[in-house]
Every structure is written in structure tokens, then in C-alpha cells.
Chain A
Amino acid sequence: MSLVDSINRTTRRIPPWTLYIVGVIPAAWYFYLGVVGRLGVDPVKELEHSYGELALQLLIAGLCVTPLRRFTGIALIRFRRQIGLLAFFYVFCHLLVWLFLDVQILGQIWADILKRPYITIGMAGFVCLIPLAVTSNNFSVRKLGRRWRTLHKLTYLAVLLGAIHFVLLAKGFQLEPLLYLGAILVLLGLRIRLPRRAQPA
């Protein structure tokens, strides 16, 4: 039995809903650490960073599912909904931290959303994710039919906006956000070639 087969066999035994439980634990744990004063001296920023970074990583994980199956045969498609919804959950937590723990001042919140390109772009990413989260259920998949797949192409835009948001907020010339953006561009690039390849000869 090949490695891929054994991976697939093992993952098939994991019920997808368990991902929700595992996925929410870091959010709760970081928040707890923040409340008891164990997230360093600037806990609000730290929380904002942890949630933002996890959100981006989960969005990227979601993008990996298809290429992973295509190039290695590892099938994680059963978990894609959970990955996507968790990503949305983390973006939402990230936004809540910003709203209620960081900025707090309504006037400044509006000003920031309208005036700060990195906030505007992050917000646009969040807005893109809302219809995706709302339709991430069997009922919507059935109801929307082919349109569901079209709608969910919005993921690509949302991830891209998330990464650009990260690049924009870095001070000076920093490597990390560019690596994320690069990884996303590669993952999206792989998809551009997919339809052609998929056509029967």
C-alpha cells in the first residue's frame, strides 16, 4: 500500500466535524492567555496577529486541497468546507478584536475602513468571505447547483485580498508577507492551467 493510500485511508476515518472542535481551540486558548496577561505586554496586537495569521494560513490550506489531490492523490476534499469555515471564523475573530479591543472608537473605525488601504482591503476580503460562509452547507450546494461553484471562486479573490492586506501593513521591506503572497500566487497559478489540462484529448 502506498503512502498516499494510507494517508487517504487514515483521513477517511476522521469525521470532518472534529475539525471544528480542533480548529476553535487555538482561538479560545489565545483569548484566555490574553485575559490572564500571558500574551506578552501588548496582548491586543498579539491576538490580532495570531487570528489574522491563522486565518491566512487556513485560507491557504483551503487552496491547497485541489492541487494536493491533483499532484499527489491525497484527497482532503471532505475537509474543505471545515477548513473554509474555520478560516472565516478566524477572519471574523480578527475583525472582532480590531473592533472591540483595538480601535473601539466608532468614528475612527469608519475613518480607518474608508481611508486606510490595508484596512479597506482586509475588509473587502472579509466581505467576500461572507456569502461563501453562508452557502457552505449542503442545502445551498443543492439549491445553487452550478452557480455554487462559480460563487465559490470568490475564495481566490478573498485570499488574494487577505495577503495584499498583510503586505501593505508591513513596515519597511519584510519577507514574511511576501512569502505568503508568493505562495498564494503559485497556488492560484496552478489553477489557471487546470481547465486546459482537464479537457479530454
Chain B
Amino acid sequence: MAYRWTNDLSREDATPERAFLNRRQIMAAAAAAAGLGAIGGPRGARAATGELDPNEWDEITTYNNYYEFGTGKSDPAQYADALTTSPWSVTIDGLVDRPGEYSFDDIMSKMTTEERIYRFRCVEAWSMVIPWNGFELADLLDMVGVKSSAKYVAFETALRPDEMRGVSFPVLDWPYVEGLRLDEAMHPLTIIATGIYGRDIPNQNGAPLRLVVPWKYGFKSIKSIVRISLVEDQPPTSWNKANAREYGFYSNVNPEVDHPRWSQATERPIGGGIFAGRKETLMFNGYGDDVAALYEGMDLNKYY
């Protein structure tokens, strides 16, 4: 069902068409000229009052991880063009009533897309606010009919060595795979994103369709999905396979459970400029009211 959740972050005046030199840069330049420090710009100021507006289109689309195109933050923007996203289809199989290969257009014709402005928290301790467009994963799962024996949902990213220059090196065990518990997958906050700022989602951000689970670390939100399988047992996930001690199956944003190599208590909001500093990371990335019940009675230190 679309519209089960209402945005709590505002779009404000942020538009994709905003001028190249945004207001923060202008302010930072002015501050530099005046020899001032500690200027975070308007976002920094808003962050203090708890109100956030989305990051710029350029920030969202030029700085991210998509290791299939390289491990540098600008590699995806530079190399993801090579990915053919049309035609595209998603195989939905496993414990469903209507398994099959669903074309992207077919899916889109049946889904209602809406805007969801979500906080995005990377496991590397940086964060953004992103105005996604997409539909609830629950709607897609309802479309294919989930059998009652299904307990988990497994996802798989495309693996195309000819188009993805990063997969020639085994940074991870390709293809990238992820998974959710069924109740997490059916949660109204969990969406399949197909756009940002009302435009088609760019390749580097996971075109043509990707998962977004805003209360979990970014790597859970798997990109460029080619397969969704409903399964009975907890499916393997890429980062967990690479390093189980550092990346759990759940990977909920949790300021109290540190990554073994760095603290998760704080984060660097992207776009605040060089002097903006960190802010405190929120439990479940600020979505505790919506999702804490999913984990009631679970030891989150154990199920990290």
C-alpha cells in the first residue's frame, strides 16, 4: 500500500536544478575570505534544531559506494554509465505464488510510486538525507504472493563483468547479495527506489531499482536488483560473508554497538563543509518509533 508512511523531513527549497555553486559553498567561500571558521551553512544550523533538508543532487550522485564499479567514492559516478539498465527484469522466485521474470516496465505499471525523504547512514559513519522516489517492497511482494512458509527475502545485484569494472577484483564475493527478515521487508518504511528528486535513479545509485531500508546501514540497501527470492532460512549477505565480526545480518543503525574498527556513536553529515563536524547518530537512524518493535526482546549486541 502506498502512502502508509508520511515524510518527517522536509524537501524545503532543495531542487535538483539548483545552481552549481550552492549556498553552502558560497557561504564557505565568504567565510574563508573573511578568515572565519566554524561555518556549516544552513544545513548545519538546521541540524541543531532537528530539521534536515535533503542533500544536493550532486552530493547524492557523486559520492557513494558501489564496489562493482570500484572502491573509490567517485568511481560509481565515473564508471556506472557502462551498465545497461534497459531492458531490465527481476526474477522473483522461491516461496511465492506467482514466480517469474518480471520486466521493469511491468513492475512499474503495477506500482504506485511516492516520494520518501529518508536519512541515509553509511556504516563508514557518514550520512545524507535523500529524497527517494519509489514504492513499498510490500506492494511488490503482495503482487507475487508470498507463501506462508517464507521467512526471509534474499536479494541479488546484477553481475556483469563486461560492464562492471570493479568485479574483476575480488573485493567481495560477487554477485552482491543481501537479505531481510520478512517482517522487515514488509515494513512500510522499506521501499524499492526507482528515482531521486523525481528523476530516474542514476546508475551509480543503483538503477533501475534498488532497496532502501532507512534504519539499517547503507550497505543493506542493495542496488540494481536482478533477483528477489522468498526463502525459509536466513540468506547469506555479502559483507557478512566477507567479515562476519564486523557486519551482521541485521546491521541496524545503532550508536551503542561500534563497528570493531570504528565508533558508530557519531556521523559526518555530508555537505556541511570542512568545519561542520559530526553529529550524534540516532538509534535505528531516527526510525525507532517505527521499527523498534520488530526487534523487541532481541539482544542487539548479539544480533548486530
Q: Which residues of A are interface residues toward B (Cβ below 8 A)? A: 32, 34-37, 39-45, 47, 101-105, 108, 111-112, 115-118, 168-169, 171-175
Chain B residue with the shortest CB-CB distance to A37: B25
Known: A40-B74, A42-B268, A116-B262. A34 touches B62 (CB 8 A): no
Cβ contact within 8 Å between A41 and B261: no
Task: Sort A-B residue pairs by CB-CB distance and give the 9 closest, nearest first.
Answer: A37-B25, A34-B274, A41-B59, A172-B171, A35-B32, A43-B274, A37-B28, A41-B63, A36-B29
Q: Which B residues lie within 8 Å of A103 (CB)? A: 266, 278
Q: Which B residues lie within 8 Å of A45 (CB)? A: 126, 268
Kindly identify, within residues 224 to 253 of chain B, every residue whose CB is under 8 Å from any CB belonging to chain A: 239, 242-243
Cβ contact within 8 Å between B171 and A108: no
Known: A108-B266, A111-B263. A41 touches B58 (CB 8 A): yes
Cβ contact within 8 Å between A168 and B261: yes
Q: Which B residues lie within 8 Å of A116 (CB)? A: 261-263
A36 to chain B, nearest CB (A): 5
Known: A36-B28, A37-B28, A116-B261. A43 touches B273 (CB 8 A): yes
State which of B25, B28, B32, B263 has its C-beta within 8 Å of the C-beta of A108.
B263
Chain A residue with the shortest CB-CB distance to B276: A44
Q: Which B residues lie within 8 Å of A101 (CB)? A: 274-275, 277
Q: Which A residues lie within 8 Å of B277 (CB)? A: 101, 104
Q: What CA separation (Å) do A104 and B169 show in the bound complex?
A: 36
Chain A residue with the shortest CB-CB distance to B39: A35
Cβ contact within 8 Å between B268 and A44: yes
Query: What are 28 A-to-B residue pairs whose CB atoms are below 8 Å?
Result: A34-B274, A35-B32, A36-B28, A36-B29, A37-B28, A39-B274, A40-B63, A41-B62, A41-B271, A42-B270, A43-B274, A44-B268, A45-B126, A101-B274, A101-B277, A103-B266, A103-B278, A105-B266, A108-B263, A111-B263, A112-B262, A116-B262, A168-B261, A171-B124, A172-B67, A172-B171, A172-B243, A174-B71
Task: Bits for B73-102, please: 1 = Cβ < 8 Å to A, else 0.
Answer: 110000000000000000000000000000
Q: What CA separation (Å) do A92 and B302 show in the bound complex?
A: 38
Q: What CA separation (Å) do A111 and B264 show in the bound complex?
A: 12
Q: Which residues of B are interface residues toward A (Cβ below 8 A)? A: 24-25, 28-29, 31-32, 55-56, 58-59, 62-63, 67, 71, 73-74, 124, 126, 169-172, 239, 242-243, 258, 261-263, 265-266, 268, 270-271, 273-275, 277-278
Q: Which B residues lie within 8 Å of A32 (CB)? A: 32
Q: Which B residues lie within 8 Å of A41 (CB)? A: 55-56, 58-59, 62-63, 270-271
Cβ contact within 8 Å between A42 and B126: yes
Q: Which A residues lie within 8 Å of B239 (CB)? A: 172
Q: What CA separation (Å) do A36 and B30 show in the bound complex?
A: 8
Chain B residue with the shortest CB-CB distance to A35: B32
B284 to chain A, nearest CB (A): 21
Cβ contact within 8 Å between B170 and A173: yes
Q: Which A residues lie within 8 Å of B270 (CB)? A: 41-42
A179 to chain B, nearest CB (A): 12
Q: What CA separation (Å) do A173 and B263 show in the bound complex?
A: 21
Q: Which B residues lie within 8 Å of A174 (CB)? A: 71, 171
Cβ contact within 8 Å between A102 and B268: yes
Chain A residue with the shortest CB-CB distance to B25: A37
State which of A39, A40, A112, A118 has its C-beta within 8 Å of the C-beta of B62.
A40
A33 to chain B, nearest CB (A): 9
Chain B residue with the shortest CB-CB distance to A33: B274
Q: What CA separation (Å) do A36 and B21 show in the bound complex?
A: 11
Q: What CA separation (Å) do A40 and B58 show in the bound complex?
A: 10
Q: Which A residues lie within 8 Å of B59 (CB)? A: 41
Q: What CA separation (Å) do A16 and B147 show in the bound complex?
A: 75
